[in-house]
Every structure is written in C-alpha cells, then in structure tokens.
A = this chain, B = another copy of it.
Amino acid sequence: MTNQYSITLLPGDGIGPEIMDVTVKVLEAVGKQCDIKFNFQTALIGGAAIDAKGVPLTPETVETCLKSDSVLLAAIGGYKWDNLPRELRPETGLLGIRAALELFANLRPATILPQLIDASSLKKEVVEGVDIMVVRELTGGIYFGQPKGIFTSETGEQRGVNTMAYTVSEIDRIARVAFETAQKRQKRLCSVDKANVLDVSQLWRDRLIKMSEEYPDVELTHMYVDNAAMQLVRNPKQFDTIVTGNLFGDILSDAAAMLTGSIGMLPSASLGANRPGLFEPVHGSAPDIAGQDKANPLAQVLSAAMMLRYGLNEPEAATKIEEAVLKVLDLGYRTGDIMSEGAKAVGCQEMGKVLLQVLEGN
C-alpha cells in the first residue's frame, strides 16, 4: 500500500528556492523506493510573500499549511526587507506560521558527522560520535510569561520584569514529545532545569518524574542548567536526548549545535498539538550567495529526513536520506561552506545530483 502525504513547501527567500528544489527531488526519489507518494503544494512566506502580496504571511498560506500533513520551510529574509516596519518583516511571517501551527516543541539535533569532525573546535576524541537531540519548549516560559514590562516603582525607580512560568499541561505535553523522541533514539532522557533554586523548575521536575511512569523504557535523569552547559563542553557524548524549557533550550541547543562546528549542516523540527509539524534548516537565507548555485542543500535535505521521522513516522525513508548524505560526504563532495583540502567542490545542483545517484544506487 502506498502512503500518501500532503506537504506544503515554503521555499522563502535567498537560497531557499535552490535548496528546496534539491530536497523535493530527494523526497521523490526516496518516496519511489519506500512506496510513499508526496503531494506537494508551494506557498509564499517571508520576503517572497511581501513582494507578491504586501505581507510576509497571507491567510492562504496559513490555510494551506494547516490542511497539509507537514510543512517544509527553507529560509526567509534578506537585506531587501530589513528596513520595513517590524510587522512587515519576513521574520514576522515565520513567527506567524509558528503561532498558527501551535508549534510548542522544537527538536534541535547536534550530530557530529565523522566526515566533518575537523570543523569542531573541540578535540576529535571528545566529539567523536556525539549525537544529541535537544527538545526545547517553544511557546511558554519566560519569553511569553505575564507580567512583563518595564515598570516604575513608587520611589520613581524603573524595574524591568519578566515572568518564567509553566503550567502542568504545558510541561506534560513537551514531556510527552521528549519521551517519545527518546524512544526513537537511545532511550535516555536528561531533563535540564534549575530545581535547586527555581519553583517553576521544581514543578517541571516533579511532572517529568510523574510522566516517566508512562515511559518505563526511557531512562530519565536530571541536570541543573549550569552543569549542563559545563557537561556539553566537557563530555558531550554523555547525552542522548535533552528536554528543557524555552530559555534554557535556546541557550543549550545553540551551544550543542556549535559543538559540531558546522551549523550549516543542521536541520530542525518544530511540532504542534494535532497539527502539521514544521521542518527547516538551522541556517538562514544567505542572501549574499542566493541564485549562484553555491548553497549547501544538505541541512534542508536533512530537515526533510526529520520530517519523515518525526512528522510522518516514516523512519525507514528518513534513514535512507540520512545515509545518502553521509555517503555523499564519504565520496568527498563538498559545497563551499564545508570545503576542505582534497575534497571535490560542487555547487548546490550538483550536490543534489550526486545525492540522487547515491539514493538510486542503493
């Protein structure tokens, strides 16, 4: 039986269309092999939407996304739109689609690819084999908590205030995503908090412990956020899956990503509650090299693999794509951003062709 999925493509701006183009071909090739049919529709977002429709996100794009099974985004933004008022900036379109899809769980892998290990600032023996998944809560915590603002006290002094808050239901739903993510990996989940000082962390920890009863196959541990920042530097191999709140996740997912030394290779996933997930590379739209066939499409291709694994539950097809990426690197093909001595320099399109050859040769 053929599984069918409706996928909304949001190529966006800059190098977005080029890398999306390669990714669609890769998805179609792997679909044929795994008996999966993708029905793609393309929609506008970011600068492309501003140019065509005057706003960075239209109701039509939102509707198209909501009706699909998954959304694959490339990148948005560019110099051209930098001086528009905030509500008309490309970034506002991205925030809008995230809100519309209620994407409360952000999955940020930090995987060391053996072929690119020299790019890391850490010693080879420290990062060899590192494969971390940070599950970050994305719609709660201190970035959204009320009250917030700059207030003036009775004495006339200004006081800046933000509120870090989580409810039980907010914690439980991110915990569920984290336990299920760990189940697809090495089944070790490290919850990062500051429960020795923060009440909100104490509730977070209590709920994680409670939820772990439903996932007896996953080993749950706890770590304070300052120690986690140290341990990522000291011995990142100790981690499998990490779950944490919005602010701590913002900091730790970026620190973990930087361990790899090649941010341009990293995909990400954002998952909602009973809504399509959104999958996108960590890198930006790189307007300086747009349209020159210089872009590295691999993070976008790996985002499609995350879509298959975490959005569509097609792990076999996901693995095929991930293995093809590794094989292409093994064969020595490199775009400019990851070029090293003795490797074969290729452009975006040729990288795509080699990927297809490898996939079809499998």
Contacts and interface: CB of A to CB of B under 8 A. Distances in A.
Interface string A122-143: 1100100000000000000011
Given A121-B235, A161-B164, A198 B142 contact: yes
A153 B167 contact: yes
Nearest to A229: B255
A308 to B, nearest CB: 28
A200 B162 contact: yes
A185 interface: no
A4 interface: no
A203 to B, nearest CB: 3
B166 A160 contact: yes
Nearest to A252: B229
A1 interface: no
Identical copies in the complex: 2
A247 interface: yes
Q: Number of contact residues on A: which range applies?
A: 35 or more
B226 A254 contact: yes
Contacts of A199: 148-150, 160-162
Contacts of A234: 121, 258, 261
Interface in A142-175: 142-143, 145, 148-150, 153, 157-169
Contacts of A202: 150, 160
Nearest to A247: B194
A232 to B, nearest CB: 8
B165 A203 contact: no
A180 B143 CA distance: 32
A307 to B, nearest CB: 24
B164 A164 contact: yes
A160 B204 contact: yes
Contacts of A162: 163-165, 198-200
Interface string A29-58: 000000000000000000000000000000
Nearest to A201: B160
Contacts of A227: 254
A293 interface: no
Most buried by B among A122, A199, A229: A229
B230 A257 contact: yes
Contacts of A148: 198-199
Interface of A: 121-123, 126, 142-143, 145, 148-150, 153, 157-169, 194, 197-204, 225-227, 229-230, 232-235, 247, 250-255, 257-259, 261
7 contacts: A121-B234, A158-B168, A160-B200, A162-B198, A226-B253, A229-B229, A229-B255
Given A153-B167, A234-B261, 9 more contacts: A121-B123, A122-B122, A150-B203, A160-B166, A160-B198, A162-B164, A163-B164, A164-B164, A232-B233
